[in-house]
Chain A
Amino acid sequence: MKYDRGSHLSPERITLSLVDENDLDRHERDHLVHCAECSEARRHLAGRLENLSNQAARFTPVTPFKVKLPASEASYGTPWTLRFYGGLVAAAICLVLVVTLSWPHLFTHNPRPYGNVNLTAESAADEKLMNEVKNLSNNSLPESLQGIVPDPGYRDDEDEFQGFVVPGDA
């Protein structure tokens, strides 16, 4: 129901003026100010609402009541940025510690015991040992005795040798 110039505001427009007076157009607002009947209707409705509001306040008990807040914390707590960067610094310190403690092991401890270097060295040692064995099997005398050679007229007679070692007839 829109306002018709010369007539009073409708009850709905009066209600609307209580919700937000700016929703009325300029003529309606002027009328509301100058018309005794409309301003009385508005005042009456506003009074009823105010009365309700006053009664609600009156019948709401006021008791001394203190809200208990945790005293140990700061009012804003720790800001998230501080927590984030604190965590970042702690992580960096841990990383440095781990690297420092494990650094020497990274170079002294060979993770590949059968690497190329070891295999070559081992095969060289094996070859040397096999040469020694071969030499011994060819000539078991120590090197110092190898210069002793038999007499040129020596005849290898086993029986004579046995007779020499175990004299029988004597």
Chain B
Amino acid sequence: MVYARIQSKADTEDLVQDVFLKAYHSLETLRNPELFKAWLYRIAVNKVNDFRRRQKFASLFSFGEKEVDQEYPDTSPDSYDYLAGKQFWQRFNEFLRKLPTLQQEVFRLRFLDHLGLQEIAVTLGRSESAVKTHLYRSIEKFKKEYPHESISTEEAR
């Protein structure tokens, strides 16, 4: 879930550690244990957003520094996997950039994290009908904008 948002293995590990630590310390605030998954995702989404904000702020001061290439995977023995993965995330990120932030998040939570509508609503603190609207619009964009030829690597092999 975290990796799908930042595509950096090292940062993902740090963030996952942060997410679980935060969840561990604020377990008392979980009122409805049935929504544990959504609650945990909410923490994760907030942590990722904080991380992005920090990254954006840090990039303001990194004059002339070469931007680090997104890592996928850090050390892969299979060059095909490496290239296919890199290509996939590039294409996916390119598509997401065309969506408003909330639609991006709803789309990720539905199709990458497989959350239900109610869980997405809890995670993002929105109503279920608002989530449906954003999901509908993001799928409509997906139909038009996402390349049709995106076949799975299994099929490609």
Interface of B (DSSP majority class): helix
- A20: chain B residues at CB < 8 Å are 117, 132
Q: Are B89 and A59 in contact (CB under 8 A)?
A: yes
Q: How far is the CA of A126 from the CA of B4 in the complex (A)?
A: 99
Chain A nearest CB from B133 CB (Å) reads 9
**Segment at the interface with A among B31-39, B54-62, B134-142:** B134-142
> Do B136 and A16 touch across chains, with their CB atoms under 8 A apart?
yes
* CB of B99 to closest CB in A, whole Å: 14
B3 in contact with A60 (CB, 8 Å): yes
Please report the C-alpha to C-alpha distance between residue A79 and residue B27 in the assembled complex, in whole angstroms.
Answer: 11
CA distance A53 to B107 in the complex (A): 11
Measured as residues with beta carbon below 8 angstroms from the partner, the interface class of chain A is 20 to 34
B63 interfacial by beta-carbon distance below 8 Å: no
B residues near A53, Cβ cutoff 8 Å: 111-112, 114
Are B9 and A63 in contact, CB atoms less than 8 angstroms apart?
A: yes
Contact present for A54 and B143 (CB under 8 Å): no
Interface of A (DSSP majority class): helix
Report chain B residues within 8 Å CB of A162. Answer: none
Is there an interface contact between A48 and B146, defined as CB atoms closer than 8 Å?
A: yes
> Which of A32-40, A67-75, A107-115, A144-152 binds B?
A67-75
CB distance A75 to B16 under 8 Å?
A: no
Which chain B residues lie closer than 8 Å to A52 at the CB level?
92, 111, 142, 146, 150
A163 within 8 A of B: no
Contact A69/B132 with A53-B114, A59-B72 known, Cβ cut-off 8 Å: no
Measured CB to CB, the residues of A under 8 A from B are 11-12, 15-16, 18-20, 23, 45, 48-49, 51-61, 63, 65, 67-70, 75-77, 79-80
Q: List 9 A-B contacts (CB under 8 A).
A: A12-B140, A51-B151, A52-B142, A54-B152, A55-B152, A60-B4, A65-B13, A77-B25, A80-B28
